[in-house]
């Protein structure tokens, strides 16, 4: 069934990370920020820690890890720097100590969907501001819990600037024209590296907008492509991006089959999310400094604030 997707062509040139432009909100006064990235044993954790260093953000030399990682090693290296691994068994004690040493401590979370609730509990319990990029879990429950705690956080399933803009646009369309696509059929196909554990959190969020536009659709109908052969042959993912890509296609067809819309965002690698995560951390640090009462944000808030480079 996945093989039947007549996927629109990916641009023939290689997809490249977005162009760097100037820093907007951070230019005037650098917010106080000491960033601890969890989990740097993973792909996104590594990418974010590297992006933080590129942006001149102070990186705290510790990282929370899963139990298996701690059994195998005591450190992980990011851009030549060793970070001490902190397993679940010792994380409470270590974080108490780190809070004393790093008064502007903020955490970034890229762990796993299975761990997301325990990670949120942990940040809330220790009252550590955090940027949560991990997908999965009960998103409404997490938002309610974090909001009630008044712990500062940015939570979003996608940190890529242009994808966030696309999400915001779909949301705007749904709010402005509810039912605009009633009678249409939706097909959603997403392809990610085979290690991805869950259905795309981005696709789930975008689907919600289409539902509000009148299209009946269940998250379980999202088609997942995880096989490298189908990824290369059907989705046209370059061979060297099989271990790191995120291709999404949303196709809407009218009831009589005479009209078709297709939206697509295809990302190779992880740079766009990593850079967006650093933007989110700098934004959150500025909000903490501002003390204006609001504590819970998503990436659309970060984008609207002009805080994405």
Ligand X SMILES: O=C(O)C1=N[C@H](C(=O)O)C[C@H](O)C1
Ligand Y SMILES: NC(=O)C1=CN([C@@H]2O[C@H](COP(=O)(O)OP(=O)(O)OC[C@H]3O[C@@H](n4cnc5c(N)ncnc54)[C@H](OP(=O)(O)O)[C@@H]3O)[C@@H](O)[C@H]2O)C=CC1
Return the H-helix or E-strand segment holding 236: none
The residue written with tokens 């942006």 in the block is: 55
Task: Sheet containing 245-253: give its strands across.
Answer: 223-225, 185-192, 245-253, 260-268
What does DSSP assign to residue 114? G
Chain positions 221 to 280 lying near ligand X, rule: CB under 6 A, are 246
Tell me, yes or no, if 192 is annotated catalytic. Answer: yes
Q: How far is CA 263 from CA 37, 107, 170, 172, 188, in A?
A: 32, 33, 10, 15, 10
Q: Determine phi and psi for 54, rounding to 5 degrees.
A: -60, -35
Which part of the chain contacts ligand Y (CB under 6 A), choosing from 7-15, 60-68, 176-184, 286-294?
Answer: 60-68
Site string for ligand Y, 12-51 (x = CB under 6 A): --------------------------xx-xxxxx------
Taking Cα atoms as reference points, which of 188, 168, 162 lies closest to residue 273?
Answer: 162
Q: Which residue has the tokens 């705007």?
A: 172
We find the least distance from the C-beta atom of residue 134 to ligand Y, in angstroms, to be: 4
Does residue number 304 form part of the binding site for ligand Y (CB under 6 A)?
A: no
Residue placing its CB nearer to ligand X in the complex, 39 or 158: 158
Q: Does 167 bind ligand X (CB under 6 A)?
A: no
Q: Which is nearer to ligand Y, 42 or 129 (CB)?
A: 42
192 makes contact with ligand X (CB under 6 A): yes
Q: Which of ligand X, ligand Y, none does 251 bind, CB closer than 5 to 8 A by kind?
A: none
187 interacts with ligand Y by CB under 6 A: no
**DSSP code at position 160:** -
Q: CA–CA separation, 61 vs 63, rounded Å?
A: 7
Which residues of this chain interact with ligand Y, rule CB under 6 A? 38-39, 41-45, 64-66, 68-69, 88, 110-113, 115, 133-136, 156-159, 195, 201, 273
Q: Which residues participate in catalysis according to the annotation?
A: 192, 196
Which residues of this chain interact with ligand X, rule CB under 6 A? 135, 157-158, 192, 196, 200-202, 246
């Amino acid at each position: 069934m996945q093989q039947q997707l007549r996927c629109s062509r990916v641009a023939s040139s290689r997809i490249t990370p977005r162009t760097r432009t100037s820093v907007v909100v951070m230019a005037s006064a650098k917010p106080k920020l000491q960033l601890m990235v969890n989990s740097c044993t993973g792909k996104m954790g590594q990418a974010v820690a590297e992006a933080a260093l590129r942006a001149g953000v102070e990186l705290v030399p510790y990282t929370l890890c899963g139990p298996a990682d701690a059994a195998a090693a005591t450190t992980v290296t990011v851009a030549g720097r060793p970070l001490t691994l902190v397993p679940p068994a010792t994380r409470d004690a270590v974080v108490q100590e780190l809070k004393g040493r790093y008064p502007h401590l903020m955490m970034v979370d890229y762990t796993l969907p299975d761990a997301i609730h325990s990670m949120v509990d942990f940040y809330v319990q220790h009252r550590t501001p955090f940027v949560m990029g991990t997908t999965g879990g009960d998103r409404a429950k997490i938002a309610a819990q974090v909001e009630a705690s008044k712990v500062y956080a940015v939570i979003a399933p996608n940190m890529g600037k242009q994808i966030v803009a696309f999400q915001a646009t779909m949301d705007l369309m749904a709010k402005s024209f509810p039912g605009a696509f009633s009678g249409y059929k939706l097909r959603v196909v997403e392809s990610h590296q085979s290690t991805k554990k869950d259905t795309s959190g981005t696709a789930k969020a975008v689907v919600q907008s289409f539902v509000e536009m009148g299209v009946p659709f269940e998250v379980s109908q999202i088609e997942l492509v995880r096989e490298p052969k189908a990824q290369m042959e059907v989705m046209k993912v370059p061979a060297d991006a099989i271990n790191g890509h995120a291709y999404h296609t949303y196709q809407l067809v009218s009831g009589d089959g005479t009209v078709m819309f297709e939206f697509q965002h295809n990302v190779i690698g992880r740079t766009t999310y990593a850079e967006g995560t650093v933007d989110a951390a700098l934004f959150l640090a500025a909000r903490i400094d501002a003390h204006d009462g609001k504590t819970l944000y998503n990436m659309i808030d970060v984008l609207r604030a002009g805080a994405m480079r």
